Structure 1
């Protein structure tokens, strides 16, 4: 039993545990002793990793702050930039137009064009493009082709007869903003050829084919008949406002 006099004595300290500074050196350890018993720092590699980690953390924090509006003026050093090196427009010609655009048709066509070779597997040599083309065609009457004597006024000045040239269809205007390639398949040799030299005019064939299809559709759509009717109504309203009671508009054969 412990003596009564030992009850109020302070607790004795536990014996110290051995540390890296107090342990004896290993027999195979040939490194010189560290001054003051300091632990190894890890060398330059560890310092580089710490620096890269801090830099990455700083970039993430700044990008997050910009997204949340804390630093709205902070510029992302990795932001996407676009450089326009286009040349200024060149005016090639000016043409005076004296035409009345009486109608316009908007069309959409789907072009499925495939170019391949006979007796060659498609996975080697094949090019198939599914293109959706959107464009418009104008129908107009060219007033510069009105011949002499085309306007005949009656003796009493109450009626007039006008003979106009037949309406014409303008050039198809392919809208590239609304046109797009829906799907495309190319063989292995086609892809290799694109990697070697490329072809910036590869889609030109489908563009031309889409324009031809739209032009053909405009001819069969009755667009010129609509232009005739609209031009007739325009001239009747204009000439009646000038005092003519009867207005007759006819068209020459196309």
Structure 2
């Protein structure tokens, strides 16, 4: 006679499992909230924390000027400034600096229309030809690009390094920028930038006046016959 089979175990009720999952999820939420609160409390109580406050004054509009010139050409320049400063009676290793500075910027060339006299524009009796007399193009002050201008290399003596370490403010670089601007201005003056500006101004006026119906347009600059 065979023994009766063992009865199958009954499945665990689903309600206790759901309660356990809910309890675990609740604990995770509580742990996350505690971590966030601790982080916020530390940020409030941190004695070494810094807060940046912008106390700049509003931008002040100083003047408005009507433009009466045509900017007809722009030159982009780059120069390497090699500035060395030596002490009279000390070696460079003790006192002295040498800085290589890359300066990059642009120079605008323009023709000024504000000073034109009444005789600057001459129209023929049949109104088919016109002659315009203009001054030569001028150069603006160089505009250095801070994003592309930087100190490439710098060598400093022991006393200079100690002075930079003890100083509360970084070394002043205005002299380097001024030298770069001066050299770029000289390079722009020696280039053909002004001649290109004259040519572009002539082409602009010829196109504009031809569009107004003039068959012959002559543009002359100050030193042209």
Q: Determine which structure has more spread, i.e. the larger CA radius of gyration.
A: 1
TM-score by length of 1: 0.65
Q: CA deviation at 1:82?
A: 7.2
1:224 to 191, 194, 206: 194
Unaligned runs of 5+ in 1: 1-61, 63-70
Q: CA deviation at 1:99?
A: 1.0
**Separation in 1, partners of 2:150, 2:169:** 18
1:184 to 154, 158, 165: 154
Change (3 A) 1:82 1:132: farther
- Spell out, residue by residue over 1:140-173, the C-alpha distance to the aligned partner (whole angstroms, 9 max, x if none): 0011011121100001100000001111001100
Q: CA deviation at 1:202?
A: 1.7
Unaligned runs of 5+ in 2: 1-31
1:202 to 172, 186, 203: 172
TM-score by length of 2: 0.73
Pairing of 1:81-230 with structure 2 (within 5 A): 83=52, 85=54, 87-88=56-57, 89-198=59-168, 202-230=172-200
Q: CA deviation at 1:190?
A: 1.4
- Spell out, residue by residue over 1:76-122, the C-alpha distance to the aligned partner (whole angstroms, 9 max, x if none): 969x9772525132333322221100000001111111111123111
Q: CA deviation at 1:199?
A: 5.4
**Separation in 2, partners of 1:128, 1:86:** 37
Higher RCO, 1 or 2 (CA under 8 Å, sep at least 6)?
2
SS in 1 for 2:107: strand
Aligned-pair Cα RMSD in Å: 2.5
Q: CA deviation at 1:187?
A: 1.3
Change (3 A) 1:180 1:158: same
SS in 1 for 2:119: coil
